[in-house]
Structures are given as structure tokens and as C-alpha cells.
Structure 1
């Protein structure tokens, strides 16, 4: 286990400050507390994190674990959850895993010692795994499932959203629809791919492996996906990306390559992040009802906190196709 001196050095504070924090003594600025928290997680160090700190500060605290704070969808989700829980009298303790399972596990152990009133978890991926035992803390999964676990779950209908996107492109006369997928070890990604595949089959269009490339939800991977599609040599007149960031990256690369958007290639994303409205042309996308997702998750979490239940709880919300200028 790391020493207090190592933790203090990483957090850029004194050893006495770290000691006070671990033993719930004194008050700390948000920046200082965040640095100490990060150092504790980095070294996998868990001291006497009891409920007393929460009581001293008179806070009701909800933990939130997300995979990528730099992704505008998850930053907007975080902001919305903060607003929703604030109205119920709760504050958010945020942890960003960077889609890293080891870091997710460390954060879960860290939060297990925090005396939380609840935990909202957006998993790094959907791989089957065991979560730390939270004896008195209700947990809800948001956006993504964890295979083999039956926690309460809230999501948009990813399968239907993908079907809507492909159906619209086919209605526009697009025949060769490329798909920028992501790692299928993620329930949302799997469902979007399955919806894409299903809608093509429904309209008698054969699935072409050369039109499917894998990204990682980032703008850069969408950009590179176009190079891969062109290298594959399969003609395409539309691109459906599994999220907006990849769609925006794909759009930029297509424009650099001289393709007209939407005249030669139509593009659809998924999420409806704020950036999709301000690019040129504005991005057509499958909108997730963000406020409703967050409100539903909060209501379910607080409900099972006040009245625990062993019944399966799952809420799947409807997506909406938002048509703009990219197709």
C-alpha cells in the first residue's frame, strides 16, 4: 500500500492534509479534495472513509461513474444528473473511468467507503464482472448494461434508434450504407449494430462486411474510419455512425476528400450532442431524451433507496430522429 507521503506528493498537498482528509477532519477546497481523491484511487488506498464527513457537510451524496467526461454526451449527462438530483436535495460525486475497467473497479471500491445514498453507474463496457458489495447503497445502471447482472437499468432504445436511422437513409434512396461501429463488448453498441443489420435485412439489403469499420466513440476514430472505408474499396453513399462524435469526424474527413455532404454521402449520428447543431452542414442524428433519461434514473434510484425491492426494474425510452442538413 502506498504511503501518505506518496499520496501527498501526487496530490500536491502536505502529509498532514492527506491524513486529515482520510480521517474526516477539517475542510478542503473542491480542487484539493479532488486531487486527494484522485491520488487515493491511483494508489488504490482506502482509509477511514466513513459517513461522518457527509454528516458534517450536511450533504446527501449520489455517486456517478461515467466512462468519458470529454465526450459531450457524457458531460451533458453529468450536468443534467447534477441538476435533477439537486432538485431532490442531493449532490453528485463524479468519477471518470476513461473506459478503463481497472480504474472503474478502483472507483467502485473507493465509493463503497463513502456512505453514499446511491450510485449511478455508466459502465466502461458490458463485460460480465463482479461489482463490490454495496450493503446499503442502491445502484442503477444507465445507458449500458453489465452482462450477467440484474441491476435496475435505464436506457434509450438503441436498437430502434439504429433502425430509424437506416430506414430514413433507405427512404432517401441510399443503397450502400456504411456503419462506423464500436467495440461490441458494450450493450449500446451491440444494439445499434443489430438495429442497423436488422433494418438492412428487412429491406432486402445484404450486409457488406467491407462497409463496417470499428471506431472507439471518438472524433478521431470517425475521421480514420473514412480512410478505412475508402481503402476497403466498397462504394458507399451514406454513413451511419454509432455516435455523433464519430459522425462528425467522418464528415470532416469526407469533406477533406472532396465528397459533397449530403449530395454524395449522407451522414447520420446518434446522441444529438450540442456540437451536432453547429457544424456545417448540421448533423442529422438519433436523439437521446437526455433529461428524461436522467430524471427516470434519479426517480428509480431514490425509489429503491426508500423502498428496496427485488423486482427487476428496467426502463427503455424512445429515441427520436432529428433531421438536419447532413442527409
Structure 2
């Protein structure tokens, strides 16, 4: 494996000059830079980022923890984060905790040992670890996290999103509105429930508690919650599902019970995953601004890396209503 000394020897320059070219830390003449770059290509030289970070420099690597990279929402967001990080000259190490606290703990330790420059966290599993587990690594929480110095948060405004989704159904003439909530221990689930309740209260519609059923943020979670909802005595004419996967699972169950969407049952989802517009019927949903979320998360993390002791910042991003074909006006 080639070393920096091999590059310097082939280019006919000092190792210091090679270092300045690679790290862009000082001006090097165009001729000297070209020699170094040619030598790097000929030798297929790869800088040792860990060794560089041990000397107090930057590894140019960011870590990202997510709960489930197979979820289309996370997969889409990861692509945006990777693009933005790359544009800023950083590589991304992705860690999928898969709902396992021990995996989250191991990944936190690994990222610290790899001396990544900072970390983006979108993992409820990692947030269950003691704050002391995070160490001093610059970090941005991309859904929720502790309010303290050194931990910035960029959040979907789930309460407002739940309010907007429910209000849209109310404006379409629906009064019996079911809510398929995510896991009740998760803050975004509780926030969407709060938005649902606010819209219903504002319209002077009493909520039947049996209309609120919860499940995982998955197809199966939607099936489970919808199955329970259909068992209730007081029937609904529309449903707000807390994510698109749940909405799709619910529509399948509705079809098995002879209900046609949106003729018999209107459905609105949340996230606007790539498959939402291709579903049958195309799904009305709340779109999270993933590109903006990625841009602002990376910007916050880079700022945190520059000023690690500053107060934690909190940014809320408002979702957008995307109307398609899964909601109909209720004429009853």
C-alpha cells in the first residue's frame, strides 16, 4: 500500500507539500499540485483518515444512525443527506440500529473510535442510551433529543402536520375521523395525535377514543391498527394514518372488508414516500421536506463542529399537504 512518502518521492516534492495539496491547507503552485495529483493517481494512494484525525485534523467523515434504513422514508432521507455531505467534502458512515439498543450502543462506540467529525441521529434506539454514551461528539438529532448544550435538533412539525391532515378531512365534510397512530411511546406519534385533537376540537367535533388505534410505522402496523378500528361500534368515514406505510396497510384491510377508497373510506397518509403517488389510489399525504431537512441538518452539524460549546438549537420544518385521489368529499 502506497504511503505519503511514496507520493512525495514520485512527485519530486516534500511530504509537507503533498499534505497541503491533499488537505487544501496552503497554497501550492499549479505545477506542484499537478505533480502530486498525478502521483496519487499512479500509486492509487488513499489517505489514512484515522491517522490524520489522531493528529488533530479532520477525518472528513460523518456518521448517521437510523432506526430502519429499509423504510422508504429513511432511505429517501439518507440519499439526500449523503448528497449534501458529499457536496461539503464529507463521506457518510450509515449505521442501521434495527430497533436494537445494544446495536445502537455498539455503533456509538464504533463511530467514536473511528473519530468521525460529527454525527446525525435519527434513531429512537440510540436516544434510549444515557446521554453520557454520546461523549463529546458534535451531534444533530433529526427527530428528537435532549435540550442541552451540544445537541441540536431539526424536527418535522408533527403536531402541525397532524392538524393539517385532520383539518383537510374536516373540510371535505368528514366528522367521524379515525387516527392510526404510530407507537405511543414515540414523540412524533404523540405530536400527530395532538394535532388531530386540536383540529377536531377547533371544529367542535367530539373524538370517540375508539377511533384512535396505534401500531408500528410499518405496513403490518397499519394492518393491525386498521383491523382494530374496524371492530369498533362507531364507524369512521375517513382515516388519518401517521405514515404512508400504515396508510397502505390500512387500505388493504379496508379492501378485504369490502370498502372502496375513497368511495367508502377516505385515507390520508404522512411522509409522501416515493411509492405514495403510484399506489392505488394515489395517496393524499403530508410531505416532509427531506431535501431541506438534509441541507439544514448538515449545516447545523458543521456549525456545531466549529462551535461545540454553543447552546443547542431547535428547528421545526412544516410539512406540506399533497392532494391526490384517496380522499373524497363526504356528502352524508
Give the TM-score normalised by the residue count of structure 2: 0.78
Q: CA separation of 1:134/1:153 partners in 2, compared to 1, >3 Å: closer, same or farther?
A: same
- Equivalent position of 1:167 in the other structure: 167
Structure number with bigger Rg: 2
Q: Which runs of 5+ in 1 are unaligned?
A: 1-49
After the TM superposition, which of the residue ranges 74-83 and 310-319 deviates more from structure 2?
A: 310-319
In 2, the alpha carbon distance for the partners of 1:149 and 1:270 equals 29
- Residue 149 of structure 1 and its aligned partner are, at CA, apart by 5.2
Q: 1:256 aligned to 2:256?
A: yes
In 1, the alpha carbon distance for the partners of 2:307 and 2:230 equals 55
In 2, the alpha carbon distance for the partners of 1:298 and 1:320 equals 22
Write out aligned runs for 1:203-222 (5 A): 203-222=203-222
Q: Which runs of 5+ in 2 are unaligned?
A: 1-48, 328-332
* Cα shift readout 1:243-297 (whole Å, capped 9, x = no counterpart): 1100111112112221121121110111000010101110000000000001000
Q: CA separation of 1:173/1:293 partners in 2, compared to 1, >3 Å: closer, same or farther?
A: same
Query: SS in structure 2 opposite 1:132?
Result: helix
CA RMSD in angstroms, aligned pairs only: 2.1
The 8 Å contact of residues 158 and 192 in structure 1, kept in 2 or not, is answered as yes
- Residue 307 of structure 1 and its aligned partner are, at CA, apart by 2.8
- Residue 300 of structure 1 and its aligned partner are, at CA, apart by 0.7
- Residue 230 of structure 1 and its aligned partner are, at CA, apart by 1.4
Write out aligned runs for 1:274-285 (5 A): 274-285=274-285
In 2, the alpha carbon distance for the partners of 1:80 and 1:181 equals 27
Write out aligned runs for 1:33-182 (5 A): 51-52=50-51, 60-124=60-124, 127=128, 129-135=130-136, 137-142=137-142, 144-146=143-145, 151-182=151-182
In 2, the alpha carbon distance for the partners of 1:53 and 1:306 equals 18
Q: CA separation of 1:236/1:122 partners in 2, compared to 1, >3 Å: closer, same or farther?
A: same
Q: CA separation of 1:242/1:232 partners in 2, compared to 1, >3 Å: closer, same or farther?
A: same
In 2, the alpha carbon distance for the partners of 1:60 and 1:278 equals 38
- Report how many residues are paired: 275
In 1, the alpha carbon distance for the partners of 2:69 and 2:123 equals 13
- Equivalent position of 2:8 in the other structure: none
In 2, the alpha carbon distance for the partners of 1:242 and 1:229 equals 14
In 1, the alpha carbon distance for the partners of 2:233 and 2:301 equals 49
Q: CA separation of 1:254/1:53 partners in 2, compared to 1, >3 Å: closer, same or farther?
A: farther
Q: CA separation of 1:81/1:309 partners in 2, compared to 1, >3 Å: closer, same or farther?
A: same
- Equivalent position of 2:24 in the other structure: none
* Cα shift readout 1:190-209 (whole Å, capped 9, x = no counterpart): 11111111111111111211
In 1, the alpha carbon distance for the partners of 2:249 and 2:304 equals 41
Query: SS in structure 2 opposite 1:51?
Result: helix
Q: 1:190 aligned to 2:152?
A: no
In 2, the alpha carbon distance for the partners of 1:190 and 1:291 equals 25
After the TM superposition, which of the residue ranges 258-267 and 148-157 deviates more from structure 2?
A: 148-157
In 2, the alpha carbon distance for the partners of 1:290 and 1:253 equals 29
In 2, the alpha carbon distance for the partners of 1:244 and 1:212 equals 17
Give the TM-score normalised by the residue count of structure 1: 0.79
